[in-house]
Each structure stands twice: as C-alpha cells, then as structure tokens.
Amino acid sequence: MKILHTADLHLKALGDERWEALTAVVEIGRKHKIDALVIAGDLFDRGIDAERLRTAVRPIFSGTGFPVLILPGNHDRESFRPGDFFGENTVILGDAPFILGDVSFCALPFEPGDRQRVLARLHGLRGRLDPACVNILIYHGELIDTFFSRADFGDEGADRYMPARLSWFADLGLSYVLAGHFHSKFTIRTFGDGGFFVYPGSPVSVTKKEAGRRGVNLFETGMAPAELFLDTPHYADEEIVCNPFSNRHPLEIIKERLSGLHPQATALISVKGFIDGARLGTDESSLLEEIKKIARGRAEVDEYSVRDVSTILADGLFSAFSERLAAEEPDEERRARVTRMVIEAMMEAAR
C-alpha cells in the first residue's frame, strides 16, 4: 500500500501559500496513485479557521480516489465535531481503527496530558491492534528523547505537547508511527524490531523557523519511509561573512547566492563580519541599503552585524602592537603578514 504522510499545514486563509501547499500535496497523491493520504495533526491553525474553510476543503478532498485521514492536533482539536463534512473521502481519526485492506490505522488524537497520560494511552492501544494487519499509529506530539529546540515546533512556546519516548512504541506491534507537530525538517527514527517513527516536517514554511525546501513522506508498506521534496514556498537561510581581505565585493556574493535560489524560496540573509569601506567605496549604512535593494522581492535581511575594519585599526591595542612591530621587524613582507594575522584574530574575537 502506498501512503502519503504530511502534517502541520496550519491553514488560515483561502488561496494563500499554505492553501497552495495543501492542493500541491493532494495533487502529488494523485500523481503517485497513493492508497491513502495521512494528515497527522494541525491541518487548521485554529478552530475558527476550520469553520471558515471547511466548505472550501470539501472539493479538494473529494474525488481524489483515495481516503484522506485527518488527525486532530493541538491547534485544531476542537475543529472536528461529529457530523461535520470535510469531503467525500475524509476520515477524522478517533479511537476506532480505520481499516484499509491489510493496513490498520490507529490514532492518538491530541489531548492535554503529561508523559504518564500518554504512556497510559499507548498501552490502551494493545487491544485495538490486529496482528494480521500492518499497524500504523497516527500521532501528534513531541518525541522527548530526540534533541529538538523550541524553534522546531513553530510558535508553540515552552509547553510540552503529548510528550512520548521512542521506546514506548517498541512493544506495541506497530510498523510505523506517522507523526506531526515537529515543523523543521523530515526526521526518521527506528524503534523495536524494524518500526519507523517519522516526522515529515511542515509542507510549507509556516514561520521563518521552517527553513529549507519542504517535503512529505511517501512510502510503501514494508519499506522505509522516504522524503519527497515539494515545490512549495519556503525560507532558505543564507549567511554571508564579509572579509576585508577578500577580493570579492559582498554584493557580488549576495547576488550569486540569490541567483541560485529555488524559485519558491525566500532567502533569509544574515550578513556578518568586517568590510574595508575605504577600499570598497562604501560604509556600513550604505552597504545595508544596497543589500536591501538587491534583496527586494527575493530575500529579507534577517541579521546585519557588519562593521568596518577601521574600528579594529583604531583600537588602542592594535596601535600599540603596530608601533612595536614596526620597531622590531625590519622585513616589510613579514610585517604585513603578521599584521593581517593580528587583524583577523581581533576580528574573530570581536565576533
């Protein structure tokens, strides 16, 4: 059975980038002739968004040729009332398994609770798993024994959401855990005897924290999950470290980076280091304005911490060193080499 797995679209408005990502995911499902689409939580950003957009998602999820299995997440757990219609092929996952061929889809819908509560709910799955089936668990929460930063979960703050340990899934007879809540990137872990735990990452950059090309999880049962990249809007981190000894102008480097961007990418430019303004014919303020002109429509200046190397040359410590070096080292070439080493060391210390 071929399954497409995504999560964390956080739909808020009709026709925006998140909406386009949803339609792109469904179209990929058609193209690859999948048997089921799994959305592992937070399809909608808020309950009010689900109410406003429910009629609009119906035609997207209808007539696909495959069921769309939706798990309530922490953002939209109140959005799926009994009897609400989201499309002909949609199934809102709850306590009862959804059986499709020889695959049983079980769910752990989001609800507030600590680790012990999650562990108890997982133990409660034992009676619902069919040993004759490929058992897949759909889960929206936080895997706490893998290092993630708070930024990896979007704008969730410091709270814990359905925390679980990887080992807790090992003895349940699960082949796959298809998870949501982790936004940053595609992440796969193994558990037990050949089980796979997968976060697909969000299929569109929901915040600036989701940098890099976005993807979904497309796999066949019995095989390892695999990331399929999407052509959806996303942010791309670009760091430029200026060096006053370089022969390349910082603007030239930025133009080159922007020309190599994916068409759907918006670059988050971080410009650091030191410039030799006298040699470049510019200063710190003017360089920033030129960067903004180049970036318009393709990038955002996320950080600008450039300084002119004249701040190093005017430092009293450097002046004292230069005087002593001039007095004790007659070789001009050696003085130049040592001077550059000291300037580079002081720049590094200043950074």
* Distance, CA of 201 to CA of 156 (rounded, Å): 15
| DSSP helix/strand/coil, 285 | helix
* Distance, CA of 285 to CA of 101 (rounded, Å): 64
**CB under 8 Å to 8, separation ≥6 — which residues?**
41, 42, 73, 154, 180, 181, 183, 201, 202, 203, 206
Q: Which helix (H) or strand (E) holds 251?
A: helix 250-259
Q: Which amino acid is at 129?
A: L
| DSSP helix/strand/coil, 116 | helix
**Could you report the per-residue pLDDT of 273-329, keeping only the tens digit for each?**
999 999 999 999 999 999 999 999 899 999 999 999 988 888 888 889 888 888 888
Phi, psi of 236 (to 5 degrees): -130, 125
The tokens describing 4, both together, are 């497409």
The CATH superfamily of 2-229 is Metallo-dependent phosphatases (3.60.21.10)
User: What does the pLDDT read at residue 156?
Assistant: 56
**CB under 8 Å to 14, separation ≥6 — which residues?**
53, 56
User: Considering the entire predicted model, what is its pTM?
Assistant: 0.86
User: What does the pLDDT read at residue 237?
Assistant: 94
Is the CB of residue 301 less than 8 Å from the CB of residue 292? yes
User: What does the pLDDT read at residue 6?
Assistant: 98
* Distance, CA of 57 to CA of 25 (rounded, Å): 13
**Could you report the per-residue pLDDT of 260-269, keeping only the tens digit for each?**
999 999 999 9
* Distance, CA of 175 to CA of 136 (rounded, Å): 6
User: What does the pLDDT read at residue 305?
Assistant: 93
Q: What are the strands, taking DSSP E only, across the chain?
A: 2-6, 36-39, 68-70, 90-92, 98-100, 103-108, 134-140, 176-180, 187-191, 195-199, 215-220, 227-229, 234-242, 265-275, 299-304, 307-308
* Distance, CA of 151 to CA of 167 (rounded, Å): 24
| DSSP helix/strand/coil, 13 | coil
User: What does the pLDDT read at residue 102?
Assistant: 94
Q: Which residues of the chain have pLDDT under 50?
A: none
Question: Would you list the domain boundaries of the chain?
Answer: 2-229, 234-350
